[in-house]
DNA sequence: CTAGAAATAAACACGT
DNA sequence: AACGTGTTTATTTCTA
């Protein structure tokens, strides 16, 4: 955009005078250098990656014979899969080109990864013990009634710490699960036992997402690969990624791929196997739950190990009678059939190779994320004086005992070490780290850079924001998504109008000043912590433009309110306007509340491990069967290439019409909900809102939460980068400040 | 191909 | 003069 902006500026400003231009122009110019640099970097990375792909067999079209020559028979696939996290595309390319990876190297990598896993397990155990200890202590203290309040306080603090830690662990668990999945995938592809090379990136190393392909890129890749040939899309992909700037990557990994696994594993057929406990755990959970989860995890682990062992009859690419090859899902009666299928359909050809490559990217991204989370955990533990961290050595050592005692003595004081909490240098990785992949569905949409348009499409998919800390949307249970947007630098898939309305509705008195609206945006979405000039202008623009926003003069100035009537009117227009949508409505409506309820439930359950990744949910996960209902549009949910980033192609970039429900994935949160809700209101959920069946309900959805805690900022160490750089926001709220770190300050607006 | 929606930019006007 | 608010207009991008 900056480009556009520049041009525009030059032309218009020349005559119009620069009076106004100052403010905006100033902002831009100040960041240009940095931004440009970043941009360049990103572009380079992306290009390299792209080249890589193009050069490879995958895109045989473009790569003539020379390529074929180079391509040794079996090598490509294996190499591609094994190549470690070589983070830089260049490196990757090297590897790919050389196609060399000595067995020793592989071995080393594998071992490394295993070590990591082990460590994680230890951590788990460690945590368990810690919990037990805590419990014990509590009991002890309870008996001697004389325990002073002081102790209680300490206990509380301790508990609080534990909670945090617990959450972190949960995250780790999730990551582990992801890793397991990845490993399985890798194994399948590699047909090699043992975990793959997970080079746990070191904290510092955490190459910004740039290293890997951006989600958009990945999606594109899948599209190209699965689709048989890249079409025009490629342009889009490129463009987007460029504009997005690798930074976009932060947004995330697109785990859509995992869907494949997850999906399959959680298939109905898979009942037998303990479904991975995906649930959003974002919130603190009871120890009980944790234990349960632990157990499940263990079982999962066992299952996996057994898989390894029996390698004979099993195949990582085969499960529950279905081929797990990304995007496949072909049903195979038996193993033999599967093998046949595998050999026929997924033989070593351009396509398969390309798919492998893509998978590799996905894995890479996940690993990066994992390492980030791990680092964060370590930092946290270090802070809490449970040193297991740094040295990956044995976790159990320091038990809580030490930690507990410590805390007892020094309640909140964290003396020696880092007084810094999570938000420390090391720890605070990217926001994405916290919960990346989410939006695969949104996919393209998320990537910051995606141009303006995308979000609106995403809108249709209606993501759920749900509530979290301050704002409580209609579906509190979907919190994960909310959390996601709050921490991840991902563009929310809602239109400005929707968001503004949500902001206002969220307020106690249904009215907000412009500044408060701004605050809500920054507080609620990491994405809006940067480029303030841009989105704030958009907000103002929307406020003025839409009749549904009414300005009310106030003593202290003016506040904005929502004319629900207008809002609904607009919505319904949109909806009615789109035949396709109307078509779909019936089905969804048919389910009425029930549907919503189930949706919610499904959502809650489906919220994947990945931190409630809507995308995942969307994909296949059973529960979401609803998708079908909602999205009548095949292109979106579509059966999309099963599980892959699946359906991504259409879903992500392709869009859907503005008011349509389309692929609306399961998630819905009020905003989303409203998005297409104009007419669906009655559908509404919680019973709260939607009073009656009249679409034009003036009543705003009910908020479950009455008071916003601003605190939440604390719990989310995100990175929001830019904030720091771009001054404007600083004053907004300290919220913003936390960010920094991570990503570069690039602006998506360029 | 067109219309409409949404996002962006930017020019202006006003008030503090 | 510098900002923050509000309004408008123009462009661009996309989809039905």
Distance A509 CA to C6 C1' (A): 22
Report the distance separating Cα A381 and Cα A421, nearest Å: 10
Q: Please name the helix (run of DSSP H) or strand (run of DSSP E) that holds residue A215, with its range, or none.
A: helix A215-227
Closest CA to A518 of A537, A491, A545, A505: A537
Nucleotide nearest to A492 (CA to C1'): B7
- Those nucleotides of strand B lying less than 7 Å from any protein Cβ are 5-13
- Digit-coded pLDDT (tens) for A675-697: 444 333 333 333 333 333 333 33
> What's residue A515's pLDDT?
92
Provide mean pLDDT across the span A405-428: 29
**In which band, very low, low, confident or very high, does the pLDDT at A514 lie, cut at 50, 70 and 90?**
very high
Segments in A282-349 forming alpha helices (H): 287-309, 335-345
**Is A331 (CB) below 7 Å from strand B?**
no
**More confident position, A250 or A319:** A319
Asked if strand C contacts A655 at the CB level, meaning under 7 A, the answer is yes
* Highest mean pLDDT, choosing among A195-209, A260-274, A383-397, A517-531: A517-531
Q: Is the CB of A597 under 7 A from strand B?
A: no
Nucleotides of C under 7 A from a protein CB: 2-10, 12-16
- Which nt has its C1' nearest the CA of A531? B8
Nucleotide closest to residue A10 (CA–C1'): B10
Nucleotide C10's nearest residue (CA vs C1') is A8
Look up tokens 């490394």; give the residue.
A112
Structure tokens at A617: 């949910």
Q: CA(A542)–C1'(C8) in Å?
A: 12
- Give the integer Cα–Cα distance in Å for A526 and A485: 6
Name the residue among A408, A331, A530 with its Cα closest to residue A161: A408
Query: What Å value separates CA A537 and C1' C8?
Result: 13
Strand C reaches within 7 A of the A541 CB: yes
Question: How many of the other CB atoms lie within 10 Å of CB of A203?
Answer: 17
**Looking at per-residue confidence, does A561 or A481 come out higher?**
A561
Query: Residues A507-535: what's their mean pLDDT?
Result: 90
Contact between A609 and A435 (Cβ < 8 Å): no
CA–CA separation, A411 and A690 (whole Å): 47
Give residue A544's pLDDT: 93
What's the pLDDT score for residue A554? 79
Taking the C1' atom of every nucleotide in all shown strands and the CA of A20, the nearest one is B11
Say how far apart CA A489 and CA A726 lie, in whole Å.
Answer: 15
Q: Can you give the distance from the CA of residue A16 to the C1' of nucleotide C7 in angstroms?
A: 17
- Please compute the mean of the pLDDT values over residues A548-559 and round it to a whole number: 87
Q: Is A542's CB less than 7 Å from nucleic acid strand B?
A: yes
In terms of pLDDT, which residue wins out, A206 or A174?
A174
Measured over the CA atoms of residue A394, residue A397, residue A403 and residue A409, the dihedral's sign is negative
Task: Give the nucleotide with minimal C1' distance to the Cα of A454.
Answer: C14
Instruction: Round and report the angstrom distance from CA (A398) to C1' (C4).
Output: 55
Q: What is the pLDDT of residue A499?
A: 92
For strand B, is any atom closer than 7 Å to the CB of A535?
Answer: yes
Confidence of residue A516 (pLDDT cuts 50, 70, 90): very high
From CA A546, how far away is CA A549, in angstroms rounded? 6
Compute the distance between CA of residue A436 and CA of residue A420 in angstroms, rounded to an integer.
24
Is the pLDDT at A503 greater than 50? The verdict is yes
Residue nearest B16, CA–C1′ metric: A557
User: What is the average pLDDT across A353-380?
Assistant: 68
The answer to whether some atom of strand B lies closer than 7 Å to the beta carbon of A2 is yes
What pLDDT, on the 0 to 100 scale, is given for residue A33? 39
Of A159-173, A245-259, A292-306, A481-495, the range with the lowest mean pLDDT is A245-259
Is the Cβ–Cβ distance between A712 and A481 less than 8 Å?
Answer: no
pLDDT attached to residue A317: 81
Q: Work out the average pLDDT over A568-588.
A: 50
- How confident is the model over A566-590, as a mean pLDDT? 51
DSSP state of A702: P
Give the whole-angstrom CA distance, residue A135 versus residue A286.
12
Give residue A146's pLDDT band: very low, low, confident or very high (50, 70, 90): very low
Kindly tell me if the per-residue pLDDT of A188 is higher than 50.
no
- Report helix, strand and coil shares of chain A as percent, to nearest 5: 60, 5, 35
A545 CB-to-strand C distance under 7 Å: yes
- Neighbouring CB atoms inside 10 A of A288's CB total 8
Give the nearest nucleotide to A235, CA to C1'.
Answer: C13
Whether nucleic acid strand B comes within 7 Å of the CB of A409, the answer is no
> In this structure, is the CB of residue A16 within 7 Å of any atom belonging to strand B?
yes
Residue A563's region, left for phi above 0, alpha for psi from -120 to 50, else beta, is beta
Q: C16 C1' – A438 CA distance, angstroms?
A: 28
CA A223/CA A702 separation, integer angstroms? 40
Instruction: Return the number of other C-beta atoms located less than 10 Å from residue A107's C-beta.
Output: 12
Structure tokens at A550: 């009414």
Spatial distance from the CA of A21 to the C1' of B16 (Å):
20
Stated as kind and residue range, the H or E segment containing A688 is none
In this predicted structure, the answer to whether residue A147 has a pLDDT above a threshold of 60 is: no
At residue A530, what are phi and psi to the nearest 5 degrees? -135, 175
pLDDT, residue A564, reads 85
Percent of chain A predicted with pLDDT > 90: 5
pLDDT at A546: 92
The pLDDT of residue A508 is: 87
Answer yes or no: are the C-beta atoms of A631 and A663 closer than 8 Å: yes
Tokens of A585: 């409505």
Query: How far does the CA of A243 sit from the C1' of C2, in Å?
Result: 31
Lowest mean pLDDT among A413-417, A718-722, A728-732: A413-417
Measure the CA–CA gap between A399 and A384, rounded to whole angstroms. Answer: 11
Q: Which of residues 601-640 of A touch strand B (CB under 7 A)?
A: none
Whole-number Å distance between alpha carbons of A278 and A296: 10
Q: Which of residues 659-678 of A touch strand B (CB under 7 A)?
A: 659
* Mean pLDDT in residue range A191-199: 33
Evaluate if pTM is beyond 0.75.
no
pLDDT at res. A332: 73
Backbone angles phi, psi at A551, to 5 degrees: -90, 130
Strand C contact at CB of residue A554, distance < 7 A: no
How many angstroms separate the CA atoms of A123 and A391, rounded? 12
A112 near A197, Cβ under 8 Å? yes
How far apart are alpha carbons A417 and A432 in whole angstroms? 26
Taking C1' of C13 and every protein CA, the nearest residue is A453
State the pLDDT at residue A384. Answer: 65
Determine whether the distance from the CB of A3 to the nearest atom of strand C is below 7 Å: no
Pairing of strands A322-323, A549-554: unpaired
| CA of A540: nucleotide with nearest C1' | C6
Least confident of A9-23, A101-115, A211-225, A453-467: A9-23
Q: Give yes or no for CB of A566 within 7 Å of strand B.
A: no
Q: pLDDT class for A346, splitting at 50, 70, 90?
A: confident
Average pLDDT across chain A, whole number: 46
What is residue A322's predicted lDDT score, i.e. its pLDDT? 75
Spacing of A164 CA from C14 C1' in Å: 44
- Round to a whole number and report the distance in Å from the CA of A601 to the C1' of B8: 38
**Strand C lies under 7 A from the Cβ of residue A650:** no
- Strand-pairing partners, residue A561, are A550
Which residues, 6+ apart, have CB-to-CB distance to A224 below 8 Å? A53, A58, A59, A230, A233, A234, A354
Q: Which of residues 569-588 of A touch strand B (CB under 7 A)?
A: 570, 573-574
pLDDT of A131: 52
Burial of A507 (0-12, 13-18, 19+ CB in 10 A): buried
Between the two ends of chain A, the Cα-to-Cα distance in Å is 4
pLDDT of residue A290: 43
pLDDT classification of A362: cutoffs 50, 70, 90: low
B13: residue with closest CA to C1': A20
Position A728 confidence tier, pLDDT thresholds 50, 70, 90: very low
**Which nucleotide lies at the shortest CA–C1' distance from A6?**
B9
Give the whole-number percent of chain A exceeding pLDDT 70.
17
- 3 state DSSP class of A315: strand
A508 touches strand C (CB under 7 A): no
Residue nearest to nucleotide B12 (CA to C1'): A20
The residues facing A562 across adjacent strands are A549
Does residue A23 reach within 7 angstroms of strand C, measured from its CB? yes
CA angle A60, A184, A620 (to 5 degrees): 80
Nucleotide C7: closest residue by CA–C1' = A544
pLDDT of residue A549: 92
A729 CB neighbours strand C below 7 A? no
Give the highest mean pLDDT range of A217-231, A305-319, A342-356: A342-356
Contact assessment for residue A499 and residue A458, using Cβ atoms and an 8 Å cutoff: no
Closest CA to A505 of A543, A474, A459, A535: A474
Contact A721, A489 (CB under 8 A): yes
Distance, CA of A540 to C1' of C8, in Å: 12
Taking only the tens place, the pLDDT of each residue in A133-144 is 544 454 444 443
Q: Which residue has the higher pLDDT, A321 or A216?
A: A321
pLDDT for A116: 42
Side-chain half-sphere of A115: how many Cα atoms within 13 Å?
Answer: 13
Q: Which nucleotide is nearest to A749 (CA to C1')?
A: B8
**Rg of chain A's alpha carbons, rounded to an integer?**
25
Across A498-507, A536-545, A634-643, the highest mean pLDDT is recorded for: A536-545
Contact present, A247 and A448 (Cβ < 8 Å): yes
Q: Is A561 helix (H, G, I), strand (E, B) or coil?
A: strand
Residue A533 CA and nucleotide B9 C1' are separated, in Å, by 11
Residue closest to C1, CA→C1'?
A19
State, as a whole number of angstroms, the distance between the CA of A8 and the C1' of C11: 9
Return the closest-CA partner of residue A626 out of A656, A668, A654: A668
Say yes or no: Cβ of A540 under 7 A from any atom of strand C: yes
Residue A556 has what pLDDT? 78
Asked whether the beta carbons of A351 and A58 are under 8 A apart, the reply is yes
Q: Is the CB of A579 under 7 A from strand C?
A: yes
C16 C1' closest Cα residue? A657
Predicted local distance difference test score (pLDDT) of residue A111: 52
């Amino acid at each position: 955009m900056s480009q556009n902006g520049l041009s525009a500026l030059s032309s218009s400003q020349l005559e119009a005078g620069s009076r106004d231009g100052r403010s905006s122009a100033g902002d831009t110019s100040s960041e240009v250098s940095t931004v440009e640099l970043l941009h360049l970097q990103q572009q380079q990375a992306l290009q390299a990656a792209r080249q890589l792909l193009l050069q490879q067999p995958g895109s045989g079209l473009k790569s003539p014979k020379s390529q074929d020559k180079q391509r040794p028979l079996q090598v490509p696939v294996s190499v591609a899969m094994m190549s470690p996290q070589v983070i830089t595309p260049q490196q990757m390319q090297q590897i790919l080109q050389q196609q060399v990876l000595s067995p020793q190297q592989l071995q080393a990598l594998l071992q490394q990864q295993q070590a990591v896993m082990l460590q994680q397990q230890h951590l788990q155990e460690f945590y368990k013990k810690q919990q037990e200890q805590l419990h014990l202590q509590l009991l002890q203290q309870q008996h001697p009634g004389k325990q002073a309040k002081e102790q209680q306080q300490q206990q509380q603090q301790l508990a609080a710490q534990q909670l945090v830690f617990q959450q972190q662990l949960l995250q780790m668990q999730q990551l582990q699960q992801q890793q397991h999945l990845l490993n399985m995938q890798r194994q399948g592809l590699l047909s090699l036992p043992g975990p793959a090379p997970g080079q746990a990136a070191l904290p510092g190393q955490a190459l910004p997402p740039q290293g890997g392909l951006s989600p958009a890129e990945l999606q594109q890749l899948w599209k190209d690969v699965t689709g048989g040939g890249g079409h025009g899309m490629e342009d889009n992909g490129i463009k987007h990624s460029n504009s997005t700037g690798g930074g976009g990557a932060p947004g995330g990994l697109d785990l859509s791929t995992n869907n494949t696994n997850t999906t399959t594993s959680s298939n109905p057929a898979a009942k037998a196997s303990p479904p991975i406990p995906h649930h959003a755990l974002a919130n603190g959970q009871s120890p009980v739950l944790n234990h349960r989860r632990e157990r499940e995890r263990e079982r999962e682990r066992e299952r996996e190990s057994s898989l390894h062992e029996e390698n004979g009859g099993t195949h990582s690419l085969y499960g529950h009678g279905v081929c797990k090859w990304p995007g496949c899902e072909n049903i195979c009666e038996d193993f033999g059939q599967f093998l046949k299928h595998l050999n026929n359909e997924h033989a070593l050809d351009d396509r398969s190779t390309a798919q492998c490559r893509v998978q590799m990217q996905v894995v890479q991204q996940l690993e990066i994320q994992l390492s980030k989370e791990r680092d964060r955990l370590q930092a946290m533990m270090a802070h809490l004086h449970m040193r297991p961290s740094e040295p990956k050595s044995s976790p159990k050592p320091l038990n809580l005992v030490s930690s507990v005692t410590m805390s007892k003595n020094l309640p909140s004081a964290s003396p020696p070490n880092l007084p810094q909490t999570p938000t420390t240098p090391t720890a605070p990785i990217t926001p994405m780290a916290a919960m990346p992949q989410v939006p695969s569905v949104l996919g393209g949409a998320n990537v910051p850079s995606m141009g303006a348009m995308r979000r609106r499409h995403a809108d249709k998919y209606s993501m759920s924001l749900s509530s979290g800390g301050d704002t409580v949307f209609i579906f509190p249970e979907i919190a994960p998504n909310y959390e996601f947007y709050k921490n991840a630098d991902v563009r929310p898939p809602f239109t400005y109008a929707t968001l503004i309305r949500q902001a206002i509705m969220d307020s106690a008195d249904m009215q907000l000043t412009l500044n408060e609206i701004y605050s809500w945006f920054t507080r609620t979405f990491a994405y809006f912590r940067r480029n303030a000039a841009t989105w704030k202008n958009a907000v103002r623009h929307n406020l003025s433009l839409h009749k549904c926003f009414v300005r009310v003069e106030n003593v202290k100035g003016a506040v904005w309110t929502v004319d629900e009537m207008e809002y609904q009117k607009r919505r319904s227009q949109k909806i009615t306007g789109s035949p396709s949508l109307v078509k779909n409505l019936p089905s969804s409506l048919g389910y009425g509340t029930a549907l919503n309820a189930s949706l919610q439930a499904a959502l809650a359950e489906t919220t994947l491990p990945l931190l409630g990744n809507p995308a995942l949910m969307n994909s296949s996960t059973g529960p979401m069967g609803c998708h079908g209902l909602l999205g009548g549009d095949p292109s979106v949910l579509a059966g999309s290439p099963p599980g892959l980033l699946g359906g991504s192609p259409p879903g992500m970039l392709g869009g859907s019409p503005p008011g349509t429900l389309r692929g609306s994935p399961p998630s819905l949160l009020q905003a989303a909900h409203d998005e297409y809700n104009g007419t669906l209101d009655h559908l509404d959920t919680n019973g709260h809102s939607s009073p009656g069946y009249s679409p034009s309900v003036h009543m705003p959805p009910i908020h479950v939460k009455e008071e916003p805690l601003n605190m939440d900022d604390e719990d989310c160490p995100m990175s929001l980068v830019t904030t720091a750089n771009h001054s404007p926001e600083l004053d907004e709220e300290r919220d913003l400040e936390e960010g920094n770190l991570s990503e570069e300050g690039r602006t998506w607006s360029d």
